Structure 1
């Protein structure tokens, strides 16, 4: 009976495609931070702690406006700075600062205030997810589905975020000179895939570039409330 053996051998020779499925995450925390900020390491430590949990997605967004202090943040981005500035119009505030945590696109606090941060995470987690997101990666393509979980959701944008789970940096100059800092969920690319009307279920595909974990975030236009998020590794 060599037939099953032959079938097995043929099957092993066929090309395989790894398929990954997404996981819905109730709460998104955006931590605006900088390697040139001496007040930021405690907030960065909070992000590392939060990154081990299943009920929250913390993202480190390194800004570039402290680079003049003597150390150019290796992850610093003017896009991250602009995103933080946009939150002034949507959630209030007089100016941008680090560390700042923005929770679910709706509330901003000092990023190192752990108790206040936990209170906001609990509040928005208990408020429930507004948009159901599913994603499936096969090769270099991600298939995404979005559906409303309640009526009258606002028009929104679908964001595609790639992040580095862990990164360690030796700081040579500036306020943190001489320190080796470890970061979690460092945003390396943030792009907007499309608009969503907030009413219809939609399915579409996106290209998968860098071999990094992905977050798919649905957020009301104008840096409004985050309606749903999912991660894909």
Structure 2
């Protein structure tokens, strides 16, 4: 049973270093088939099975997997060591975009488009593969170039045949901790040591995109923290700033 959070009402219901790149050396392993975002918590006893499935996905070279540890279950007896308020805020924005009345854990969101119980391996994998190569997949090319002090992100144009009129998207930078082992000493998972993959540490919008090819230059020191991995998501936004479909994505292989 997953755990559901409704404002005012509570119902029970990711070890490696980021490899440095030399100047002018692009680090691009090809377009991934999709992006899986898992909203999880060390204080939720329904989350470990989803964390294990996520571990499998994070090991795949063709998937960008990002785990957002949330903080709204911290009162249950264990403060999630990897939780960030910004992660909970991102999930709440997704709830608004997907017209959900509440948020829950473990929740998996595929390509910013579909959500499901993150512990349902069959549905997560089948949805990921069903969206790949379709108009609901990652249609826009992204590439990275390291110039030493700065990193250049090249974003392609929207492919022909897709409606690019009035498109608005953000280039979102995500910094994550590749691997963590956490000994949980309280709450619903007390006594367990759980291995986590790709725990999101920081989210930052670094640019805007209008459907045409663009390049973005960013200080390397501001984006890359030693020992962490990072991903860039090209994500559509609505007029109120709520996140929508992820149109393209790329990650530095930690």
TM-score scaled by length of structure 1? 0.88
Residue in 2 aligned with 1:22? 28
2 CA distance for matches of 1:60 and 1:30?
6
Q: Contact 1:25–1:231 at 8 Å: present in 2 too?
A: no
1 CA distance for matches of 2:156 and 2:190?
47
1:202 to 202, 206, 214: 214
Q: Contact 2:65–2:198 at 8 Å: present in 1 too?
A: yes
1:49-60 map, 5 Å: 49-60=56-67
* Deviation of 1:126 (Å): 2.8
**Relative to structure 2, which stretch is displaced further, 106-115 or 84-93?**
84-93
1 CA distance for matches of 2:124 and 2:146?
32
Based on CA coordinates, which of the two structures has the bigger radius of gyration? 1
Q: Contact 2:22–2:146 at 8 Å: present in 1 too?
A: no
Q: Contact 1:167–1:183 at 8 Å: present in 2 too?
A: yes
Residue in 1 aligned with 2:185? 172
1 CA distance for matches of 2:84 and 2:205?
16
Q: Contact 2:84–2:201 at 8 Å: present in 1 too?
A: no
2 CA distance for matches of 1:229 and 1:73?
27
2 CA distance for matches of 1:143 and 1:74?
32
| SS of equivalent residue, structure 2 residue 128 | helix
1:150 to 126, 144, 159: 159
**Relative to structure 2, which stretch is displaced further, 100-109 or 81-90?**
81-90
Note the residue ranges of structure 1 that are not aligned, 5 or more in a row.
1-15
1 CA distance for matches of 2:219 and 2:117?
35
Q: Does 1:230 align with 2:246?
A: no
> Can you list the C-alpha shifts for 1:139-167, whole angstroms capped at 9, x where unaligned?
34211000124143321000111111111
Q: Does 1:193 align with 2:213?
A: no
Q: Does 1:161 align with 2:161?
A: no
2:109 to 89, 92, 102: 102
1 CA distance for matches of 2:174 and 2:125?
23
Q: Contact 1:71–1:174 at 8 Å: present in 2 too?
A: yes
**Relative to structure 2, which stretch is displaced further, 83-92 or 103-112?**
83-92
1 CA distance for matches of 2:75 and 2:147?
43
Aligned residues: 217
Note the residue ranges of structure 2 that are not aligned, 5 or more in a row.
1-20
From the superposition, tell whether residues 33 and 171 of structure 1 become closer, same or farther in structure 2 (CA, over 3 Å): same
Structure 1 vs Structure 2 CA RMSD = 1.6
